[in-house]
Amino acid sequence: MLVNRTAAKPQTHRWVYPLTYLLLLIIFFLPLSTEKPYAPQETSNVIRELLFVTNNPAPYTLLAPLFHLATIGLIVLIALRPASAGRALAAYMGVNYLVIGWVQSQGVTESYGYVVHTGNLVACALLGVMWLAVSFQNRLNISFNNLDWRHYLLLPLALLAFWSPAAVIDGVVYPDFNPILLLTSPAYGLSYCLTTPVFLFLLIVALPNVPPLAYRITAFNALPYGLVNMMSWFDPAVWWMGVLHIPLLALSIVALILVRRQAPVA
């Protein structure tokens, strides 16, 4: 049985949460930094070129299997040694978010020169430092002992994000259900939107033994990214990304609903 190591700590004041949400929205709407000027209405085009046309994570794709294998290793650790899995999971999340912030948030594009996705960079840095702090304080406990049918309903969403069955060719995103992508897809582990759903699923499983502020920041920060990427459905070139962002949107909503019904540790 897991022991709540933080029961004696004071609860987070409720007013902290709306202020935190406001801060996350401000970060989300931070303007992009580009070498060549762009009009505000071109923002989505800049992001699309950064993420899809330039294939920004390409130099790091050889590292993709490491993130898949590390996640599988964490799942095994949670199953076999849950007492030590929480600290490992929090540390892994922290490091992974820092990697994503560096890999996905900056790159050289043809139309706009060197681009920095400021909001994504700041958000990933915040998430990375936050989860490393949670690991250092050993404030995340996770076990599969409390799995029930509701968790299994959410599992396909996490698996879809982990698989990330897509291929980008000349800026167009196509479905690609090659099973090898379960271990090699560069989207998982190197992109925020397709890595976070797996983390959210594991945090939902860990409830109520999750620091509430860290949990809420992770869940709420994912919400606007999920909502905005639903617009991909209306673009024939990237409609498949709209499908692949369903896990991010759905799990962020579920996570925020569940946290209001439970009492995570302080």
122-154 pLDDT, tens per residue?
A: 999 999 999 999 999 999 999 999 899 999 999
Report which of 213, 250, 201 is spatially closest to residue 21, judged by C-alpha positions: 213
Beta bridge partners of 168: 173
Residues 221 and 24 sit within 8 Å (Cβ to Cβ)? yes
Report d(CA 124, CA 98) in Å as an integer: 6
Place of tokens 């609903």: 257
Measured from the Cβ of residue 208, the count of other Cβ atoms closer than 10 Å reads: 16
- What are 202-254's pLDDT values in tens digits? 999 999 999 999 999 999 999 999 999 999 899 898 899 999 999 999 999 99
Report d(CA 254, CA 252) in Å as an integer: 6
Measured from the Cβ of residue 6, the count of other Cβ atoms closer than 10 Å reads: 17
> What letter would DSSP give residue 109?
E
H-type helices in 138-173, by residue range? 149-163
Residues 249 and 193 sit within 8 Å (Cβ to Cβ)? no
Place of tokens 């690991």: 135
- What are 60-103's pLDDT values in tens digits? 778 889 999 999 999 999 999 999 999 999 999 999 999 999 88
Report d(CA 164, CA 227) in Å as an integer: 18
Domain boundaries, the chain: 23-261
Whole-model pTM: value is 0.89
Question: Which parts of 1-133 are beta strand (E)?
Answer: 33-34, 106-109, 113-116
The mean of the pLDDT values for the chain is: 89
- What are 161-207's pLDDT values in tens digits? 999 999 888 778 899 999 999 999 988 999 999 999 999 999 999 99
- What pLDDT, on the 0 to 100 scale, is given for residue 162? 97
> What letter would DSSP give residue 142?
-
Pairing of strands 33-34, 106-109: unpaired
Report which of 29, 62, 23 is spatially closest to residue 47, judged by C-alpha positions: 29
In degrees rounded to 5, what are phi and psi of residue 107? Answer: 175, 170
